[in-house]
Amino acid sequence: MTGTLFLVPNTLDFGVVAGTPPPLSDDLPLGVIRTAARLTHWVAENAKTTRAFLKRVDAVVPLTQNLQSVQIVELPRPQKGAKHAAPAPNLDALLTPPLQGVDMGLISEAGLPAVADPGAALVEAAHRRGIKVVPLSGPSSLMLALSASGLNGQSFAFVGYLPVEATERGARIRELEALSRRHGQTQLVIETPYRNEALLEALLGTLAPSTRLSISCGLTLPSGWTRTDTVARWRGGASTIPKDVPAVFGLLA
Amino acid sequence: MTGTLFLVPNTLDFGVVAGTPPPLSDDLPLGVIRTAARLTHWVAENAKTTRAFLKRVDAVVPLTQNLQSVQIVELPRPQKGAKHAAPAPNLDALLTPPLQGVDMGLISEAGLPAVADPGAALVEAAHRRGIKVVPLSGPSSLMLALSASGLNGQSFAFVGYLPVEATERGARIRELEALSRRHGQTQLVIETPYRNEALLEALLGTLAPSTRLSISCGLTLPSGWTRTDTVARWRGGASTIPKDVPAVFGLLA
């Protein structure tokens, strides 16, 4: 009998909140916290932030095992810009606990594991080995941004990061706008926070005036905001965006 | 000073769970339940299920106002098959509470409002009227399914429902498979539960043997499951799917 691979959501406040974070039960369902508290084996994008997460779990529901003896193994770092590829053979080794009947958690730096992060290959490997996969509810910055955008929520796509190089980036923005127009489909992208402003400038400089642009910044944080407007009106206003807070960008042509 | 439009998530168990549902705090963050408990004005996809939701809220955090005096207004029903269109003028009337400074909630039948449901037009109207929009974290069946699928979570699209008519549906499935192959993009679709089996048959009869197909059925329910496999292997196994439980279908060619 194999164990289960639980996909455990993380909060969206990674390192952004100053001071003591609120109780984890404010941001995650108790059912999720209870499951996290009893898992003794984890695969994580980042072991250090996972330990911080488990401390927050412990403050709500005591861990069944000392944090020191919880096993946390980091996912191999993906190659920058690599396409979604077949899982590397060593991923199977990460699945030893569930293969031996022990439940395991997969957790990301923020939000749902395997969405907009490198965890999907491990989930794929779990399916190939016949391990049961159970996703637990939590915040998804992409869906919160989409929901708050007022753009089309019945057809949408997420395409990750745009190229950094200006000419390529401009071409990609035009391509996404054309796709959006053809299919009536909201296109979502993300950016490393310190490039938020550069991306906003590129979007405003490239998109048609009538295209609607939505930005959600600092989702779930008290300072968070969402603004949706036509590109023409974005251009007319003072449009600033913090350099140190994650943002999601959506467009609908 | 206008009020805020809170986008309040609902659970994914609508009508599917027999008997008494678990405490709402098992499935939603306490922060969300606290906000829901103090909202006196709601716009909902369905007033009856919203009252049932508020009873579950009240059992965890007492409502600040009697349920009988909470105002719940239903969203106008969208025309079947209508494309995302400019909001009808009467949507502005629904925004009277926030325009008068009173916070309001928008809630859907399941999951996040304005994602895969008709709420986006109201959110758009709120942005046009300068009303602050705050999305609250909760379960998104699409993201849970994507996360559990092990398919590409760094590029994906949701395209809603497929055509019901067999020839059109086959053509649309081939189109989505081609898009998936060209862009390495996971394509997600949903179906009315009683047509789950017909959709599965159509997918297995149309997709290439090497295309990966993932189905998540009954997400967040104890009986929920996710299976991801190549179409060839789906064809080889006994593939049944309940007629009365919501499912999300994902494919990656």
pLDDT per position as a tens digit, B102-154:
999 999 999 999 998 889 999 999 999 999 999 999 999 999 999 999 999 99
Contact between chains at A123 and B27 (C-beta distance less than 8 A): no
Contact between chains at B132 and A227 (C-beta distance less than 8 A): no
Contact between chains at A154 and B117 (C-beta distance less than 8 A): yes
Choose from A6, A7, A154, A183 for mutation: most chain B CBs within 10 A: A154
Q: How far is CA A153 from CA A3, A145, B159, in A?
A: 35, 10, 9
**CB distance from A153 to chain B under 8 Å?**
yes
Q: How far is CA A216 from CA B21, B28, B105, in A?
A: 33, 22, 19
pLDDT tens digits, B65-109: 999 999 999 998 766 555 555 545 578 899 999 999 999 999 999
- In chain B, the residue whose alpha carbon lies closest to the alpha carbon of A253 is B84
How confident is the model at residue B156, as a pLDDT? 98
- And the tokens for B162? 């497929």
**CB distance from A143 to chain B under 8 Å?**
yes
How confident is the model at residue B80, as a pLDDT? 53
How confident is the model at residue B132, as a pLDDT? 97
**CB distance from B146 to chain A under 8 Å?**
yes
Same domain, B10 and B128: yes
Closest CA to A12 of A98, A93, A111, A160: A111
What are the residues facing B69 on neighbouring strands? Answer: none
Burial track B67-82 (b if 16+ CB lie within 10 A, e otherwise)? eeebebbebeebeeee
Q: Determine the Cα–Cα distance for residues B219 and B24; give it in Å rounded to an integer.
A: 16
Arithmetic mean of pLDDT over chain B: 92
**CB distance from A28 to chain B under 8 Å?**
yes
Q: Determine the Cα–Cα distance for residues B30 and B39; give it in Å rounded to an integer.
A: 15
Choose from B147, B190, B227 for mutation: most chain A CBs within 10 A: B147
How confident is the model at residue B125, as a pLDDT? 96
Write the residue in A148, A152, A157 that is nearest to B133 by C-beta. A148
pLDDT band at B24 (very low <50, low <70, confident <90, very high): very high
Boundary-marking domain end, from A108, A135, A162:
A135
- And the tokens for B176? 């989505």
Same domain, B68 and B131: yes
Contact between chains at B115 and A147 (C-beta distance less than 8 A): yes
Q: Provide, rounded to the nearest whole percent, the portion of chain B with pLDDT above 90.
A: 84
Same domain, A14 and A104: yes
| Residue A68 Cα, gap to closest chain B Cα (Å) | 27
Contact between chains at A153 and B124 (C-beta distance less than 8 A): no
Same domain, B87 and B102: yes
Phi, psi dihedral angles at A120 (to 5 degrees): -60, -35
Same domain, A34 and A112: yes
Same domain, B117 and B182: no
Residues of B in contact with A216 (CB under 8 A): 135
Looking up residue B103, the CATH number of its domain turns out to be 3.40.1010.10
Write the residue in B7, B153, B226 that is nearest to A133 by C-beta. B226
Please identify among residues 36-75 of chain B the ones whose CB lies closer than 8 Å to any CB of chain A.
Answer: none
Same domain, A46 and A104: yes
Same domain, A170 and A207: yes
Boundary-marking domain end, from B119, B135, B151:
B135
Q: Determine the Cα–Cα distance for residues B53 and B178; give it in Å rounded to an integer.
A: 41
Q: Determine the Cα–Cα distance for residues B29 and B135; give it in Å rounded to an integer.
A: 13
How confident is the model at residue B21, as a pLDDT? 83
**CB distance from A109 to chain B under 8 Å?**
no
- In chain A, the residue whose alpha carbon lies closest to the alpha carbon of B34 is A26
Q: How far apart are the first and last CA of chain B?
A: 51
pLDDT band at B210 (very low <50, low <70, confident <90, very high): very high
**CB distance from A220 to chain B under 8 Å?**
yes
Contact between chains at B134 and A224 (C-beta distance less than 8 A): yes
Looking up residue A180, the CATH number of its domain turns out to be 3.30.950.10
Same domain, B242 and B228: yes
How confident is the model at residue A150, as a pLDDT? 97
- CA B217 to the chain's CA centroid: 13
Helix axes A30-38, A47-60, angle to 10 degrees: 110
Q: Determine the Cα–Cα distance for residues B121 and B106; give it in Å rounded to an integer.
A: 12
Closest CA to B95 of B3, B1, B10: B3
How confident is the model at residue A166, as a pLDDT? 94
**CB distance from A113 to chain B under 8 Å?**
yes
Same domain, A104 and A153: no
Contact between chains at A155 and B155 (C-beta distance less than 8 A): no
Supply the DSSP symbol for A239. -
Q: How far is CA A182 from CA A98, A172, A236, B174, B245, in A?
A: 45, 15, 27, 18, 33
**What are the pLDDT tens digits along chain A (253 aa)?**
899 999 999 999 876 666 788 899 999 999 999 999 999 999 999 999 999 999 999 999 999 999 999 999 999 876 655 555 554 557 889 999 999 999 999 999 999 999 988 899 999 999 999 999 999 999 999 999 999 999 999 999 999 999 999 999 999 999 999 999 999 999 999 999 999 999 999 999 999 999 999 999 999 998 999 999 999 999 988 778 999 899 999 999 9
Mean pLDDT of B197-213: 97
For the cut 80, the answer to whether the pLDDT of residue B17 exceeds it is: no
Same domain, B147 and B181: yes
The pTM of this model reads 0.94
Mean pLDDT of B174-183: 97
How confident is the model at residue A229, as a pLDDT? 96
- In chain A, the residue whose alpha carbon lies closest to the alpha carbon of B159 is A155
- In chain A, the residue whose alpha carbon lies closest to the alpha carbon of B85 is A152
Out of A59-73, B69-83, B158-172, B180-194, least confident range: B69-83
How confident is the model at residue B90, as a pLDDT? 74
Same domain, A120 and A28: yes
Side-chain-facing half-sphere of A87: CA atoms under 13 Å: 24
Q: Determine the Cα–Cα distance for residues B108 and B117; give it in Å rounded to an integer.
A: 7
**CB distance from A236 to chain B under 8 Å?**
no
Boundary-marking domain end, from B111, B135, B159:
B135
The total number of structural domains in chain A stands at 2
For B77, the domain range is: 4-135
Q: Are A111 and A145 in contact (CB under 8 A)?
A: no
